[in-house]
Structure 1
Amino acid sequence: MAQYDVIIIGSGPGGYVCAIRCAQLGLRTAVVEGRETLGGTCLNVGCIPSKALLHATHSLHEAEHNFAKMGLKGKSPSVDWKQMLAYKDDVIGQNTKGIEFLFKKNKIDWIKGWASIPEVGKVRVGDDTHEARHIVIASGSVSAAVPGAEVEIDEKVVVTSTGALELGSIPKSMVVVGGGVIGLEMGSVYCRLGTEVTVIEYLDAITPGQDAEVARTFQKLLQKQGLKFVTGAAVSKVEVKGGKARVDYKLRKDDSAHDLKADVVLVATGRKPLTEGLGLDALGIKLTPRGQIAVDDRYATNVDGIHAIGDVTPGPMLAHKAEDEGMALAEILAGQAGHVNYDVIPGVIYTHPEVASVGMTEEQLKEEGRAYKVGKFSFMGNGRAKANFAGDGFVKMLADKETDRILGCHVIGPMAGDLIHEVCVAMEFGAAAEDLARTCHAHPTYSEAMREAALACGDGAIHA
């Protein structure tokens, strides 16, 4: 029976980052993972492969729509779907092998198989039982069902994000159930490949929780690209006949019944914690009403010696949130002071244009009754963006009306997912909009739009 300081269940971003940090801090560490490769959902069937297909199809879009404008003449490229999937698989392989290398480098044991916790301090994998002073549950999440609907997933016609990454052929039509991040990213991929994509969203706007102005602009830009939207609609049934799917739904405003037929239906209505088979009930571990593992500010459950991080716990289901928690928990277990600032966790949608946000939305500030000011700047006023056919979108910065401290920022535009981190760093140090506005930004760069939005919180942007 092996004795460890820490056993981590799950090798996704939360689990593997926690393991590496534990090992760096001198703790004898093992990770239990039942997949054939490390990296969890993110590296295998989530963040990484979807970004590969987004990159490939955006390159196709550029060739079809912008190359000729720049004097790059020639026949438009054809799509070899099998080769595109092979490229995606190669990207997955490079990343998962990289995690395996890091495990070996940091002397972390990979216990292959699926874990359960028979009692405090013990983890069972197959016929073997391993002991540890600390057990960390980082088992991640799985696709959630459509609430109140009859839907059977077969990963061929009715698919989750996993099946959408490996369809046998490019469908002529696709219905996406859910207007959140996953649905819009994968919908964009197939729309660029020529698929007729319709997104059905239960709420009256896409990207729930996003700044409302950004969400409205985002939907208009996606519609220009060819995506169709049905909002305020509740899906009641998805039925497959003869290899085709029919989606029944009702409009919430008048309860009228409608249906759509498609080659493929992508169910993208969110994710739920993956805790099945761990033995949490027998241990008496408390869960939240949403089925998440309840933890305190040190990621401890109500059972001594068992901790949890990432998608199985409350909060946004984001890989980088799990990573931060993994590092913080490792430091806590090593006797240090681990900490995560949950007010500064960015969110990104990797469509084109990208959408990124951090901090509070204007709607949240209004709800709080907080006095604030808005600084906006359009990418049409940014020289680099206009040169690169990327002038759609804007930066919206929110600052406290009295102190000028940055409270949030919302970006829709080129490289938004990278640009947002300038504001993340500023917010982490309690900066004012004026601090960012007085910081020299290289010209010509997209980042100048961030400075202009900060200037707009004061006397005004220069190029507006």
Structure 2
Amino acid sequence: MEKDIIIIGGGPGGYVAAIRAAQLGAKVALIEADQIGGTCLNRGCIPTKALYKTAEIMQTLNKSADFGFQLDGFQLKMEKAQERKREVVTRLRTGVDKLLEGNGVEVISGKGSLVDSHTVLVTDGDGNTQSVQGKNILLATGSIPKRITNPGVDLPGVITTNEALELEELPKSMVIIGGGVTGIEFASILQSLGTQVTVVKYSPRILPPIDEEVIKRALISFRKLGFKIETGIKIKEIVQSETGLKVLAEGKKGPQDFAGEMVLLSAGRSINVDGLNLDGIGVAYDEFGIKVNSHYETSVPGIYAIGDVIGGQMLAHVASDEGKTVIEHIFGIETQINYDAVPTCVFSFPEIASVGLTEEETKKRGISYKVSKFMFAANGKALTLGEGDGLVKIIANEATHKILGVHILGPHASDLIHEGALAVTNGLTTADIICTIHAHPTLAESFQEAVLGVEGRAIHMLNK
């Protein structure tokens, strides 16, 4: 039986697209070589956040005296934390499996390879093959950890994030190569759990998508947490030392070296196109991603691609939204994604979240703007939580007062950012936020106070 949609890749882009297609009445085949949920569910977002919670509890225990507790002798049992992480992942993956089954999606285990614009050859783990025909094909194969090619990357103790998520015994020290979202998240987790971490990054600043002022403030918090960050570092090689490993590098002041029991490679991700036979059927791509048009259609009509494999913003929620958008286009429902309104979250200590334009991007686009900032140190709920570090920063159009960007450093930033995303997506003005009552005492009041500050009307801070 011919399918309406064949999807290669069962991650957050692929499985969401499959469910949306089934909702619209399509006959769907979803081909997955590993496990449903892809990198995000199995080796990325979810397991990382499970370990982040363990690290957060460790921080709370270390500060327990501030809340009136006297605790002695507690210790981390990493194997138990890993067991909990696996239980969370399994539970969520089982839930997705049931959703696919309940929506009538046929899941085929194996590696998919394109034969032509309507045919996919699937090879399972035993080498058996089957051919699947469909009217449309969607590529959602995601990305894989990028391995640097410097000498020494194959030494024992040099690991990727995949291996880092499975550690049952933490090293005393670790060098993390890469200061993007993943590198900073692992640095925060491992440092909180007792590993001395050094982050080294080639470019001059960490977390390049985030507003520069927010990063400068975050660096102060990271120093308090205890991990070191070195930027402008060019890696030469990794060598064995008496106590573990040593990263030899070139810095602003000449040769430098960084020692650690282990080295974590977190220098970004590469598109996962191995075995798809893109060259064989003429699908255009380069090292940055498969080429697609505004409807996510590739150079071969009837073959579409979404998510990490097309480059762009490599985020699970972007892949999911692209998956829904491309399926709706195939069925004649036209929707568009506003890439200026995609929230980005960094699960560090403290959390960082951002949506819309940064101050740097606003200047680059020549937009006249106003900025207002409200500190969590003046927010009652933040102080009761013992998390008064950080701020909410609002960027608004000077003429129209539309909210252009929201940037948060502080407690529960990843949850608070969605009011900002709603504002940026819908072109809300400062007046729209000001007239919305925010409950007290809540962290969300900081957002309203920052918006009030744009108008010079803030109550709990002095107005400029």
TMscore range, shorter length: over 0.9
Match of 1:38 among 36, 53, 57: 36
Q: Does 1:177 align with 2:177?
A: yes
Determine the C-alpha separation between the residues in 2 that align with 1:386 and 1:321.
Answer: 34
Determine the C-alpha separation between the residues in 2 that align with 1:222 and 1:26.
Answer: 50
Query: What is the TM-score normalised by the length of structure 2?
Result: 0.96
Alignment partner, residue 21 of structure 1: 20
Determine the C-alpha separation between the residues in 1 that align with 2:72 and 2:32.
Answer: 46
Alignment partner, residue 425 of structure 2: 428
Alignment partner, residue 461 of structure 1: 458
Pairwise CA distance, 1:284:
1.1
Q: Quick one: structure 1 residues 151 and 295, their matched pair in 2 at CA, closer, same or farther if it must change by over 3 Å?
A: farther
Is the Cα–Cα contact under 8 Å of residues 271 and 311 in structure 2 kept in the other structure? Answer: no
Determine the C-alpha separation between the residues in 2 that align with 1:209 and 1:27.
Answer: 37
Q: 1:410-425, aligned counterparts within 5 Å?
A: 410-425=407-422
Post-superposition Cα deviations, 1:313-371, rounded to whole Å, max 9, x if no partner, equal 13110000001001111111222113211111000001121100011111111122221
Is the Cα–Cα contact under 8 Å of residues 355 and 424 in structure 2 kept in the other structure? Answer: no
Determine the C-alpha separation between the residues in 2 that align with 1:224 and 1:171.
Answer: 21
Alignment partner, residue 317 of structure 1: 314
- Sequence identity, in percent? 39
Q: 1:115-194, aligned counterparts within 5 Å?
A: 115-126=112-123, 127-146=129-148, 149-153=150-154, 157-194=157-194
> The residue matched to 1:343 in structure 2 has which SS?
helix
Pairwise CA distance, 1:291:
3.2
Is the Cα–Cα contact under 8 Å of residues 376 and 394 in structure 1 kept in the other structure? Answer: yes
Determine the C-alpha separation between the residues in 2 that align with 1:8 and 1:338.
Answer: 20
Alignment partner, residue 109 of structure 1: 106
Match of 1:377 among 374, 377, 382: 374
Q: 1:206-245, aligned counterparts within 5 Å?
A: 206-240=206-240, 244-245=244-245
Post-superposition Cα deviations, 1:125-154, rounded to whole Å, max 9, x if no partner, equal 1211100111000000011133x6335256
Unaligned 5+ runs, structure 2: 124-128
Give the aligned length: 456
Pairwise CA distance, 1:231:
1.2
Is the Cα–Cα contact under 8 Å of residues 63 and 76 in structure 1 kept in the other structure? Answer: no
Residue identity in the other structure for 1:134: N
Alignment partner, residue 200 of structure 1: 200
Q: 1:214-363, aligned counterparts within 5 Å?
A: 214-240=214-240, 244-251=244-251, 253-254=252-253, 256-288=254-286, 290-363=287-360
Alignment partner, residue 397 of structure 2: 400
Q: Quick one: structure 1 residues 151 and 431, their matched pair in 2 at CA, closer, same or farther if it must change by over 3 Å?
A: farther
Residue identity in the other structure for 1:41: T
Post-superposition Cα deviations, 1:103-138, rounded to whole Å, max 9, x if no partner, equal 111011110011100111001112111001110000
Post-superposition Cα deviations, 1:81-118, rounded to whole Å, max 9, x if no partner, equal 11111111111101111110111110111100111001
Alignment partner, residue 126 of structure 2: none
Is the Cα–Cα contact under 8 Å of residues 395 and 450 in structure 1 kept in the other structure? Answer: yes
> The residue matched to 2:59 in structure 1 has which SS?
helix
Determine the C-alpha separation between the residues in 2 that align with 1:365 and 1:76.
Answer: 51
Q: Quick one: structure 1 residues 18 and 76, their matched pair in 2 at CA, closer, same or farther if it must change by over 3 Å?
A: farther
Post-superposition Cα deviations, 1:24-78, rounded to whole Å, max 9, x if no partner, equal 010001111111x31000000000000000001111110111x222122332521
Is the Cα–Cα contact under 8 Å of residues 64 and 76 in structure 1 kept in the other structure? Answer: no
Is the Cα–Cα contact under 8 Å of residues 327 and 338 in structure 1 kept in the other structure? Answer: no
Match of 1:55 among 28, 32, 53: 53
> Which shifted more, 298-307 or 205-214?
205-214
Q: Quick one: structure 1 residues 449 and 153, their matched pair in 2 at CA, closer, same or farther if it must change by over 3 Å?
A: farther
Query: What is the TM-score normalised by the length of structure 1?
Result: 0.96
Post-superposition Cα deviations, 1:419-440, rounded to whole Å, max 9, x if no partner, equal 1110111122211122112210
Residue identity in the other structure for 2:290: I
Post-superposition Cα deviations, 1:190-223, rounded to whole Å, max 9, x if no partner, equal 1111111000011222111311111111111011
Pairwise CA distance, 1:242:
7.3
> The residue matched to 1:50 in structure 2 has which SS?
helix
Determine the C-alpha separation between the residues in 1 that align with 2:103 and 2:152.
Answer: 44
Is the Cα–Cα contact under 8 Å of residues 203 and 232 in structure 1 kept in the other structure? Answer: yes
Q: Quick one: structure 1 residues 244 and 168, their matched pair in 2 at CA, closer, same or farther if it must change by over 3 Å?
A: farther
Determine the C-alpha separation between the residues in 2 that align with 1:260 and 1:235.
Answer: 10
